[in-house]
Structure 1
């Protein structure tokens, strides 16, 4: 089966649909949080526990499900994801206590959502060679598309019913759509997409094509540091932009619009970074995203007018969106393909923990200083760590190529 062929693009289209459907687990609890808080009669900190557990489940799931994909292919893990998501939403819909609701969010919804991100990116990467970067970027965009579509659907559900009936509806939608779509990912012929040995799920087992002169463990560790650092930086605007606008006296609505603008810019950024990765490599794409994100973070400090914040938020979205898919491209360029699921999942797990740590850290710095200026500077410092790691890897790449050329 030819790489970059018609079947590869067919699989990519299915992957985008699955990512958009399964991505509901990242956004639903945020939308229903006020209603859940009111029903269970808890404060905002307690009501935030389900989101925290969902993120923990999502982070761990990217790595653990990725390992499963490496062994059995994508079919069983994504069907398992659909079952877990559907069961999670059904259980959460009838949960009598906040604790049970939170556990359903973490162990079923968060974990189930993971299979439709990192592991799905790994599977897509095996079916492309020349267009691998843009393919991974398109698949990763499903997560942002979910953020654009599902909150609107859920808000409509809340308007005509309540959060429990909305959750039951989501459970039904996921089970009747994701399972049939996943079955379409069965390879139609024997043999690998890249002419390589296959596992049961059609995953190519060819090695990475490039060498940095580093052991796989060392490169994995550096990518984890880079992923953690970039997302600590990334979290400052994404998590706190609404609160920042409220502090400046602009209110909630402009902050929410800026967050939506970041997501739209993020989709564009992912597609552009995919094209760059195909032409110049994943490390160059990652460095461009890192530099752009650092520039945007720096611009937030002196420019706090309403129009300026909209513009800077757009710049931020156009920079940061392509960063995460670039890690998947780098893993496929330099690390063994047979371990792509777990290695991509592990780096993505680090980025999610970076978002969690960074969101808390920015709030902590704000409480200490009474301003977000220091929090933006903290994000910029972590962004420099990310850029330093990427530059180091680029220099290693150049040196190994020079040695190979004699």
Structure 2
């Protein structure tokens, strides 16, 4: 039986606003600029696409490897300090990219500064901050914070600066934006007073350790469901354009589908946050997996472009909701005090699926001449994720 959540502290809305700015700046600056800047980077450094694109892989690796550490540090140190350190590291990384004259410097900036910096300022910490401050409407708050607004806006801003002032100025704009983020981060308050008092008086109030989480079957089940959703999103973003190109769609139609998927995600984050608040995070995860499995099945029919617009928009709605529904599921099962560790650890555990998903999709295409095998495999993954989430939904911890 669910219990009535306590009213949120008056500062909760302010903390959510700061988390929104931090998450959008960190993720939006990186993922909204990277692809646009590949060609000028290649021209400057004299490198090919396989080398220039390694920056993205190193960022993803740095984020995933550092996420468990950030989760642990969030229980011991101030979130304000961690988030400010992440913003400073990201700003330094972009500034280094502005003056980079070698491949080594280019890759080091992404792998050693921006990737770990994003783990501190944009992935684990904002979700942890919101989870601590919101008892009522936690799913909606997580959904709002993770609306991907800047990911959609940054390509336009970067294109304008790139055309007017060049590559170095574009990177310096990103560095300046991350430096400005330090100002709102000064206002971060780690916990509501009641939670801070509980942690001070009782060491057990700090939540479960990583070892304790790894001994929980429900933690593995929720992580598996989240991995299914994350892998599907990564796989489709990477292979959607070439897949529909093989069906006869032109480049503009493929690009339109990708844009529609991204824009639909803005609504999806809020919608599934509301669903998760009403039904519970684990049930929302299961619904997400089931719906996506059905939507992916439509892809096997190679539908016409108008139908694909609808299907891809619906997939975008579901894919972008992962942080809201998964975050709420974790907090409901293990409590707000354990959230940072649980979220960070699960980020690391999903990395192998994310890394394997894209090349597995390519393997199916190379060996069969079709993406049908990859689509069927992903549908099966969604089915496994749905079963795991439903099994976990039978029990809910205090959040």
- Both proteins in one fold, TM over 0.5: yes
For the residues of structure 2 that align with 1:93 and 1:25, how far apart are their CA atoms? Answer: 14
Q: 2:395 aligns with which of 394, 397, 405?
A: 397
Q: How does 1:1-400 map to 2 (within 5 A)?
A: 3-23=7-27, 24-115=29-120, 116-141=122-147, 144-175=148-179, 177-186=180-189, 191-192=193-194, 197-198=198-199, 205=205, 217-394=216-393, 396-397=394-395
C-alpha distance in 1, partners of 2:323/2:297? 21
C-alpha distance in 2 between matches for 1:64 and 1:215: 15
Deviations 1:347-368 (A, max 9, x none): 2334454333212211121111
Q: CA shift at 1:205, angstroms?
A: 4.1
Shift in Å at residue 207 of structure 1?
Answer: 6.0
Inter-partner Cα distance in structure 1 for 2:43 and 2:214? 52
Distance (whole Å) between structure 2 residues aligned to residue 51 and residue 285 of structure 1: 30
Between Structure 1 and Structure 2, how many residues are aligned? 384
Q: What RMSD, in angstroms, separates the aligned Cα atoms of the two structures?
A: 2.5
Alpha-carbon separation, structure 2, partners of 1:13 and 1:289: 26
Higher alpha-carbon deviation: 159-168 or 345-354: 345-354
Q: How many Å apart are 1:50 and its aligned residue?
A: 0.9
Equivalent residue, structure 2, for 1:403:
none
**3-state secondary structure, aligned to 2:105:** helix
Work out the CA distance in 2 between the residues paired with 1:57 and 1:156. 29
CA contact (8 A) 2:272 2:318 kept: no
Shift of 1:303: 3.2
CA distance in 2 between counterparts of 1:62 and 1:146 reads: 22
Give the CA deviation at 1:36: 1.4
Contact 1:206–1:337 (CA<8 Å) still a contact in 2?
no
Partner of 2:11, secondary structure, is: helix
1:173 to partner: Cα distance: 2.0
Measured in 1, the distance between the counterparts of 2:48 and 2:273 equals 42
Deviation at 1:315, TM superposition (A): 1.4
Q: Provide closer, same or farther for how the CA distance between residues 206 and 136 of structure 1 changes in structure 2, counting only shifts above 3 A.
A: farther
Name the SS of the counterpart of 1:124 in structure 2: helix
Cα distance in structure 2, aligned partners of 1:190 and 1:146? 29
Displacement after TM superposition at 1:13 (Å): 1.1
Seen in structure 2, the aligned counterparts of structure 1 residues 3 and 198 have a Cα distance that, compared at 3 Å, is farther
Q: Determine the C-alpha separation between the residues in 1 that align with 2:178 and 2:98.
A: 14
Provide Cα deviations, 1:133-158, integer angstroms capped at 9, x if missing partner: 111111122xx212112122111111
Relative to the length of structure 2, the TM-score reads: 0.89
Query: Cα–Cα, structure 1 residues 190 and 126, in superposed 2: closer, same or farther, change >3 Å?
Result: closer
Structure 2 portions without partners, runs of 5+: 1-5
Question: 2 CA distance for matches of 1:117 and 1:138?
Answer: 14
Task: Confirm or deny: 8 A CA contact 1:137 1:273 kept in the other structure.
Answer: yes
Partner of 2:3: none
Please tell me whether the aligned partners of residues 245 and 252 of structure 1 are also in contact (alpha carbons under 8 angstroms): no
Looking at structure 2, the residues matched to 261 and 73 of structure 1 have their Cα atoms a distance apart, in angstroms, of 38
- Distance 1:138-1:351 versus aligned 2 partners, 3 A rule: farther
